[in-house]
Amino acid sequence: MRDNIEGAQIRDCVLGKGNRHELFELVVPAAPNPYLLPENLPEVLWLSAAAARVLRLPAAVRGARVTIVNTSAGAFGLTINDAAGALVMQVDQNETGYASSNGTVWKGTVGVA
């Protein structure tokens, strides 16, 4: 038997805020280092760099998420930090990293692209 819940609401749901399936390709410039990523992060960032770089995520926002693909031609790692400079993940050449935020902190994981 099914019960109806009257007045039910879903709040702060990632899907409720809308899904963005955006891809953004970026050649990371040599300066500044660290390089601050934009606040309106696309869902997927294809990044390449001419040298190892430090990238900073914007301030943590609940439900924010980004997939970072390191497409550098050389064996350059991309160090991904939060806005305060704390390490979130290290994305090496031909690896993919996924970072998400609960509104307080960023957490990341890395796998092979």
Q: Determine the pLDDT at residue 18.
A: 53
Residue boundaries of the structural domains of the chain: 20-112
Is it the case that residue 96 has pLDDT exceeding 90? yes
At 15 the pLDDT is 46
How far is residue 47's CA from residue 43's CA, in Å, rounded to a whole number?
A: 13
Give tens-digit pLDDT for 16-52: 445 555 677 778 887 788 888 888 887 888 888 888 8
Q: What is the pLDDT of residue 19?
A: 53
Residue pair 31/52 in contact by the 8 Å Cβ criterion:
no
Q: What residues are paired with 87 via a beta bridge?
A: 81
Type of residue numbered 80: I
pLDDT at 98: 95
